[in-house]
Structure 1
Amino acid sequence: MNSVQLKDLCSVKSSTLKAGDVKNMNPGQYPVYGASGLIADIDSFQHENPALAIVKDGAGFGRVYKTPKKSSVVGTMQFILPNEDVDRDYLYYVLNHIDFNKYRSGATIPHIYFKDYSSVQIKKHSLSEQRIIAEKLDGVTGLIDKSYAELEEFDQLVKSRFNELFINKNQNDKESLLKDVASLMSGITKGRRIKGPTITVPYMAVSNVKDGYLDLSTIKTIEASEQEVEKYRLLPNDVLMTEGGDPDKLGRGCVIETPLHNCIHQNHIFRVRLNNRLLTPTYFQFYLQDKKAREYFLRSAKQTTGIASLNMTQLRNLPVIIPPIGQQLVFEEDVQVINKSKLAIQKSIDELETLKKKLMQEYFG
């Protein structure tokens, strides 16, 4: 099959609009888009027809949006305008198929330039073929989106169950400081001096610890002495918490149910090992997301511009409500049942994502 270059399918249109200026513009009915999506509606627009927009500067580079008619974008983005014989939805998938990391420049702030990736080779298709391809990919994408929506519903179900069981239900529940119901430890420091022989072991970094779940897509290793491994080794059902980050992510934590062999944690993470006669890891993980814990973290943390951090003393003094252990175990069983359903949905998503990538490779090369 013949191929064409991306620049044979579309052109670009730049913007000088600054995101900070949008809030001072007159409100209206025309949308303005930034790197994270819709910013505002104003009384003017840059482009008349439906098009695409791509993030060209910053951490979200390569992200593509479909823009409606009479819309605008900020200067860190640019419009991608399909030619008359090119279907917009088809072009959307073409752009999503491109690995923009190959064309990135800039050491601190990444950039991509159309002149660099415009020569990407794409299999040639007629307009009617493009529409068929877009329709097929829309079908798979729709199933993926539906599955993600189901996952979100299950997440909300767990939160509702937590509120039902624990929030404002047991006014006489015991309250203790975390230091009285758990042992806490910071982790290993990178770049320290090590005396004697070492072994290579996996370790949990800040990037692994999310709010309510563990991200194991990337696992780093570190050299450590046997004494350090013994000191920092993670055990099943330890809770990991981050010491800092964005204020809305402060105190995020998750349970590590089955650590890798000899897995340890870095010094920007706190390890919380609960007294299992008083607290279950599942309850505590969701308690960290509750209003009472969040307010304590925000009130206690040291905050600088856009960054907040907790120290060990502040974390040790976190007030923890301790419901009856039987009630916590009921919640844990509910979460396990829901997680089984989520696991099945995630498996379906993975299969659909694989199918989508296979189809895009077949269609675009």
Structure 2
Amino acid sequence: MSEHIRASDSAGYVALDHYLRGIDTGKSPMAENTPAGDGEWGVLKVSAVQEGWFRSSENKVIRDAAHIQPRFEVRPGDLIMTRANTEALVGLACIADAPPPRLMLSDKTLRLVVDKDVADPVFVALALLCPATRNQVRAVATGTSAGMKNISQRQIRGLRVPRASLEQQRKIVAVHAAFERRIGALEKILGKLEVTEKALCAEALNRSQEAGWRTSALSEVATVAAGVTLGSEPVGDGTVELPYLRVANVLDGRIDTADVKTVRILRSQYERYALREGDLLLTEGGDLDKLGRGAVWDGRIDECLHQNHVFRLRCGNRMLSEFLALYTSSAQGRAYFQRVGKQTTNLASINSSQVKRMPVPVPPIAEQESLLVPIRATRRRAQAVESQIAKLRTVQRGACEDLLAGRVTTPRP
């Protein structure tokens, strides 16, 4: 592969409209907040469009056949863009590589119809993700009272993107694809490690039935606390502004601190809401199948709090938080949360009393430690692979940005 690929001989830019034949807008019919199953139609959520990749599972099932409009179906290779989202995510674009059938565009997702005589859709997607374009999107997007941002079709068509011949575009796409193959191989390894971890976790919990370990209410082995309530914040002397974790930060098996907000509290309330390394965090509400999702806090942020919609479980000397997390995230644990959870039209929730009453197996501490040894080893291997993937993504992003900007370096993956 050439070491001197340039996105443009003159480092020029053109309006995005130069590369398009048109823009299709979808519809948002009445739908249930659960993904479509086999043979069912679904409508895309804006969360289906990620930074450079397509998450087809982010959709809502359409029950009423009258609302199904096949002309809005997402097709393989479509370039999809969000029209409305938060400031950080509005205008994101990705290629729908292999979407399942019967997925419709919503009115907040657009299909950019690329003129393939002058542009490669993957090149256009890369151009839309580069920092210069993202900055343009943030500059022109308009806000709403709900904190959402919108970008119009006219503004999208006017975005300035790198000018490149079709041959140059294909060379840039080839560099991107080379990284994707290497990353894909690592993701397959990561997938196998995740399967191994799940099997080890299931085996550990099965031992509780075989060994006849005592079962106790969760409140007997851990304290359960709700976090700080947002709203009227104190001011003046004796207050402090600190980061806090909200439901969006607490995922299934991991804590995401990419976007952490802050809240002001009385310094005297700090211990009441503070997190310690080893605390297990569980979410109070969400979709029924996501109730009680959570992870163990690793203390990566000093003086961090948690919101009232996130329960903090702090184990005593009879239970390791990692072992408790195995149970709360297991099929048995999830079944308990779904059984006691309160279901409303769109959401479900659990309260602290229900969490405290949850029956949990309590093996001896030495047995918990022994069962966690292979699980921890597998997680360390998975973290190492995740680190490799993250590094490759960083290099890939830098290489593509250099090429799109007309610089000459083309690092290999």
3-state SS, counterpart of residue 299 of structure 2: coil
Match of 1:351 among 391, 407, 413: 391
Distance 1:359 1:55, change over 3 A: same
1:341-361 CA distance string (max 9 Å, x none): 222222222221222221222
Cα separation, 1, equivalents of 2:220 and 2:19: 65
1:21-56 CA distance string (max 9 Å, x none): 9xxxxxxx9x9984433889x996579x97533244
1:81-126 CA distance string (max 9 Å, x none): 2221222332232233342444433524643333102222233222
> Equivalent residue for 2:286?
245
1:272-330 CA distance string (max 9 Å, x none): 11123x22111111211112211111121222112111111111101112234333212
CA shift, 1:211, in A, is: 1.6
Distance 1:52 1:258, change over 3 A: same
Match of 2:24 among 14, 37, 48: 14
CA contact (8 A) 2:214 2:363 kept: yes
Letter in 2 for 1:63: A
Match of 2:298 among 227, 241, 257: 257
Following superposition, which runs of at least 4 residues in structure 1 exceed 6 angstroms of deviation? 67-72
Distance 1:249 1:300, change over 3 A: same
Match of 1:166 among 188, 202, 205: 205
Cα separation, 2, equivalents of 1:347 and 1:5: 37
Which 5+ residue runs of structure 2 have no aligned equivalent? 1-9, 32-38, 49-55, 62-67, 406-413
> Equivalent residue for 1:25?
none
The two structures have a TM-score, normalised by structure 1, of: 0.84
Letter in 1 for 2:262: T
2:169 is equivalent to residue 130 of structure 1: yes
Where do 1:154-303 residues align within 5 Å? Answer: 154-167=193-206, 170-171=209-210, 172-190=212-230, 191-193=232-234, 197-258=238-299, 260-276=301-317, 278-303=318-343
2:80 is equivalent to residue 54 of structure 1: yes
Cα separation, 1, equivalents of 2:18 and 2:313: 57
Where do 1:9-158 residues align within 5 Å? Answer: 9-15=19-25, 34-35=44-45, 36=48, 37=56, 52-59=78-85, 61=90, 62-66=92-96, 73-76=104-107, 77-83=109-115, 84-97=117-130, 98-99=133-134, 100-105=137-142, 107=144, 108=146, 110-158=149-197
CA shift, 1:251, in A, is: 0.8
3-state SS, counterpart of residue 167 of structure 1: helix
Which 5+ residue runs of structure 1 have no aligned equivalent? 22-28
3-state SS, counterpart of residue 170 of structure 1: helix
Cα separation, 2, equivalents of 1:332 and 1:314: 27
Letter in 1 for 2:195: Q
3-state SS, counterpart of residue 85 of structure 1: coil
Cα separation, 2, equivalents of 1:33 and 1:198: 46
CA shift, 1:233, in A, is: 2.8
CA shift, 1:64, in A, is: 2.3
> Equivalent residue for 2:35?
none
The two structures have a TM-score, normalised by structure 2, of: 0.75
Distance 1:140 1:17, change over 3 A: same
Cα separation, 2, equivalents of 1:89 and 1:231: 50
CA shift, 1:269, in A, is: 1.9
3-state SS, counterpart of residue 298 of structure 1: helix
3-state SS, counterpart of residue 202 of structure 1: strand
3-state SS, counterpart of residue 4 of structure 1: strand
CA contact (8 A) 1:253 1:285 kept: yes
Number of residue pairs matched by the alignment: 355
Letter in 2 for 1:3: Y
Q: Greater CA deviation, 70-79 or 304-313? A: 70-79
Distance 1:82 1:220, change over 3 A: closer
Letter in 2 for 1:163: A
3-state SS, counterpart of residue 258 of structure 2: coil
Letter in 2 for 1:86: A
Cα separation, 2, equivalents of 1:43 and 1:246: 26
Cα separation, 1, equivalents of 2:359 and 2:168: 62
> Equivalent residue for 2:410?
none
1:167-220 CA distance string (max 9 Å, x none): 266341211111111112212223255796223333332232222111122333
